[in-house]
Amino acid sequence: MTNDYINLDKTSILQMLDFSYDGIWITDGNGKVLYVNSANLSLLGVNEDLLINKTTSQLLNEKIISDSVILDVIREKRQISKTCYNYNTNLTVLATATPIFNNDGSIKYIFNNVRDITLLSKLQNTLLDKENLIRLQDQMIEDTKDKLGTNNIIANSKTFFSTIQLAKRIASFDGSTVIILGESGTGKELISSLIVENSQRKDKPYLQVNCGAIPENLIESELFGYEKGSFTGADSQGRKGLFESANGGTVFLDEIGDLPLHLQGKLLRVLQQKSVTRIGRTTPIDVDVRIIAATNCDLEKMVAEKLFREDLYYRLNVVTIKLPPLRERKDDIIPLLYHFLKIINKKYNVNKTLAPETIEVLKNYKWPGNIRELENLVENLVITSQEDIITKDNLPAKLIDNTLPKFNIDIMPLKQAVELFENELIERAVMEFGSIRQAAIALDVNSSTISRKMQKLNTEK
By percentage, how much of the chain surpasses pLDDT 70?
85
Q: Is the pLDDT of residue 148 over 50?
A: no
- Give the CA count within 13 Å in the CB-facing half-sphere of 373: 18
| Whether residue 334 sits in one domain with residue 273 | no
Q: How far apart are CA 360 and CA 126, in angstroms?
A: 15
Q: How far apart are CA 353 and CA 394, in angstroms?
A: 12
Q: How far apart are CA 73 and CA 106, in angstroms?
A: 12
Cβ neighbourhood burial of 356 (10 Å; 0-12, 13-18, 19+): middle
Determine the length of the chain. Answer: 461
Provide the CATH number for the domain around residue 106.
Answer: 3.30.450.20
Q: Of 1 and 94, which is predicted with more confidence?
A: 94
Average pLDDT of 449-454?
79
Helix (DSSP H) and strand (DSSP E) numbers for the chain: 19, 14
- β-pairing, 80-86 vs 33-36, is unpaired
Of the listed ranges 107-116, 165-174, 300-309, 428-437, the one predicted with least confidence: 428-437
| Whether residue 302 sits in one domain with residue 436 | no
Domain ranges, residue 299: 158-326
Please report which confidence band the pLDDT of residue 155 belongs to, taking 50, 70 and 90 as the band edges.
confident
What is the rounded average pLDDT for all residues in the chain? Answer: 82
Q: Which of 286, 301, 326 is the last residue of a domain?
A: 326
| Whether residue 279 sits in one domain with residue 383 | no
Average pLDDT of 404-413?
59
pLDDT value, residue 381: 94
Q: How far apart are CA 25 and CA 53, in angstroms?
A: 12
Q: Is residue 201 part of a domain?
A: yes
Please report which confidence band the pLDDT of residue 20 belongs to, taking 50, 70 and 90 as the band edges.
confident
- β-pairing, 250-254 vs 389-390, is unpaired
pLDDT value, residue 247: 94
| Whether residue 344 sits in one domain with residue 318 | no
pLDDT value, residue 378: 94
Average pLDDT of 309-335?
90
Q: Is residue 217 part of a domain?
A: yes
Q: Is residue 431 part of a domain?
A: yes
- Print the SS3 string covering 5-72: HHCCCHHHHHHHHHCCCCEEEEEECCCEEEEECHHHHHHHCCCHHHCCCCEHHHHHHCCCECCCHHHH
Asked if 345 and 352 touch (Cβ cutoff 8 Å), the reply is yes
Average pLDDT of 409-436?
75
The model carries a pTM of 0.57
pLDDT value, residue 208: 94
Side by side, the strands of the sheet bearing 33-36 are: 33-36, 23-28, 107-116, 91-101, 80-86
Please report which confidence band the pLDDT of residue 397 belongs to, taking 50, 70 and 90 as the band edges.
confident
Please report which confidence band the pLDDT of residue 6 belongs to, taking 50, 70 and 90 as the band edges.
low
Q: Of 324 and 234, which is predicted with more confidence?
A: 324
| Whether residue 195 sits in one domain with residue 63 | no
| Whether residue 184 sits in one domain with residue 307 | yes
pLDDT value, residue 147: 47
With both helix axes pointing from N to C terminus, report the angle between 414-433 and 447-460 in degrees, rounded to the nearest 10: 110
| Whether residue 112 sits in one domain with residue 65 | yes
| Whether residue 132 sits in one domain with residue 181 | no
- Render pLDDT for 110-139 as a digit per residue (tens, 0 to 9): 999 888 776 555 555 554 445 555 555 555
pLDDT value, residue 408: 54
Asked if 453 and 419 touch (Cβ cutoff 8 Å), the reply is no
Provide the CATH number for the domain around residue 365.
Answer: 1.10.8.60
Q: Of 68 and 32, which is predicted with more confidence?
A: 32
Neighbouring residues of 278: CB distance < 8 A, sequence distance ≥ 6: 224, 225, 226, 227, 230, 238, 241, 285
Q: Is residue 237 part of a domain?
A: yes
Q: Is residue 218 part of a domain?
A: yes
Please report which confidence band the pLDDT of residue 311 belongs to, taking 50, 70 and 90 as the band edges.
very high
Backbone φ and ψ for 248, nearest 5 degrees, come out as 90, -10
Of the listed ranges 53-67, 331-345, 444-458, the one predicted with least confidence: 444-458
Average pLDDT of 78-98?
83
Please report which confidence band the pLDDT of residue 152 belongs to, taking 50, 70 and 90 as the band edges.
low
Average pLDDT of 333-349?
89
Q: Of 312 and 399, which is predicted with more confidence?
A: 312
By percentage, how much of the chain surpasses pLDDT 90?
31
- Render pLDDT for 161-219 as a digit per residue (tens, 0 to 9): 888 889 989 998 887 899 999 998 898 999 999 999 999 999 999 999 998 888 888 88
| Whether residue 342 sits in one domain with residue 313 | no
Q: Is residue 407 part of a domain?
A: no
Q: How far apart are CA 277 and CA 263, in angstroms?
A: 12
- β-pairing, 285-286 vs 290-295, is unpaired
Q: Of 274 and 47, which is predicted with more confidence?
A: 274
| Whether residue 298 sits in one domain with residue 174 | yes
Q: How many domains does the chain have?
A: 4
